[in-house]
Amino acid sequence: MKKLNLLWVALLATLLFACKPNTPPTPPVEPTTKGVFVLNEGNYQFSNASLSFYNFETDSVSNNLFYKANHAPLGDVAESMALADGQLYVVVNNSNYIYKMDANTIVCDTTKPFRLGDFYSPREMHIVAPNKAYVSDLIGTNLWIVNPQTMTHTGTIAMGKTTEKMVQVGNELYVSNWSTYYIDPMTHDSYTTVQVVDLNNDVKVAEIEVGKEPNTMAVDKNGHVWVLCEGRSWDYGYGENPSLWEIDPMLKTASKRYEFDGTAMVVRANAAGTALFLLYNNEVRRFDLATLSLSETFRITANPEGWFYNMAVNPANGDIYVADAKNYMNNGVVYRYSEDGLQLTSFVVGIIPSAMLFK
């Protein structure tokens, strides 16, 4: 997730790591079956990020997979994952690299860095083709284009703002502008836009005004993009309440649909695209798209000693996975719920579990 106090460190490194394709394989680990990868961020500057995998069939979890497969640490602040063509890509933000590994064995060569010039602080990787992916940047104003097959830098899109989350609708990529790295903090300004990129021509084609600090986005069954804006609520006197906006991809316009009183962090669509789930005031709440209102009957609340940090929805069956960071120092827990909010199971993972990716 986002940590503004990390920004000054990110300029110290510009590495993109890739796994050598001919690395001798080791015996397969848990990811050979169906399940969900859990990326544990770890503590800032401790280089204790880790990778876990939960097996659907056996209801079991395997932890520290990257270290077990490669005898090397994953790095400092693991941010996000992408999966394509049997390869798993892990973005490690503060270490400033991306690992490419076999999604079944988690094996890669950790010693071969690729330098990418002005590639500052990678956040998310969105793959659109075997030879093309986009990488957002927390402190740079370009969206980077890379070839996932060769792990080389192939292009740059000048966005004029820092970039964060990405979702695709048809041949367009919606990119949230969350980080305020290039804004003077004394002005109390905040980015309030979502930018749109034409994937065919790799150009920015629109910039849409929303609320302050747009972050996570979800796509509904009609292809509309829902943007959760965090509101910069911590900036006393200058922030605003978190808000939920709906973008019409045809008109390239946004309408505010809901305003929250408190803290709203993450938005995900349900499997059918008919409702949204939000992390709101340390609870999971359901937002009904038909009525544009929060359900009063659906509510998943964190334990008193816990803190809900991230969330994912299994597109195959609608199950909700909620990452609980606990005290941010000890191992966290992932809770699995049915779409109706019934707890099905839970499992212990690593420190600060965040991104989750289904296989």
Taking only Cα atoms into account, the Rg of the chain, rounded to an integer number of angstroms, comes to 19
For residue 263, pLDDT over 80 is answered with yes
What percentage of residues in the chain have a pLDDT greater than 90?
A: 77
Task: Look at residue 52 and tell me whether its pLDDT is greater than 70.
Answer: yes
Indicate if the pLDDT at residue 16 is higher than 50.
no
Question: Is the pLDDT score of 95 beyond 60?
Answer: yes
Residue 5 has pLDDT above 50, yes or no: no
**Residue 30 DSSP SS3:** helix
Assess whether pLDDT exceeds 90 at residue 184. no
Q: Tell me, what's the pLDDT at 237?
A: 74
DSSP for 260-311, please give it.
Answer: -SS-EEEEEE-TTSSEEEEEETTEEEEEETTTTEEEEEEEEE--TT--EEEE
Mean residue pLDDT of the chain comes to 89
Residue 87's CATH number: 2.130.10.10
What pLDDT band is residue 28 in, cutting at 50, 70 and 90? low
Contact 218, 268 (CB under 8 A): yes
| Statement: residue 7 has pLDDT above 60 | no
Q: What is the pLDDT of residues 118-173, one digit of tens each?
A: 568 899 999 999 999 999 999 989 999 999 998 888 999 999 999 999 999 999 99
Arithmetic mean of pLDDT, 39-67: 95
What are the φ and ψ backbone dihedral angles of 102, each rounded to 5 degrees? -65, 125
Judged by average pLDDT, the poorest of 43-47, 51-55, 183-187, 349-353 is: 183-187
pLDDT in tens, 293-342: 999 999 999 999 999 999 999 999 999 999 999 999 999 999 999 999 99
Residue 238 has pLDDT above 90, yes or no: no
DSSP 32: G
Nearest by Cα to 36 from 339, 353, 299: 353
For the purposes of burial, counting CB atoms within 10 Å of the CB of 17, is it exposed (0-12), middle (13-18) or buried (19 or more)?
buried
pLDDT value of residue 119? 65
Q: How many separate domains does the chain show?
A: 1
pLDDT at residue 113 greater than cutoff 90: no
Structural domain including 251 reads 4-358
Provide the pLDDT for residue 180. Answer: 83
Mean pLDDT of 190-218: 97
Whether the model clears a pTM of 0.85, i.e. scores above it, the answer is: yes
Pairing of strands 15-17, 320-324: unpaired
pLDDT bin (cut points 50, 70, 90) of residue 267 is very high
Band the pLDDT of 18: cuts 50, 70, 90. Answer: low
Segment 27-32 mean pLDDT: 61
What's the pLDDT band for 19 if we cut at 50, 70, 90? low
Contact 254, 245 (CB under 8 A): yes
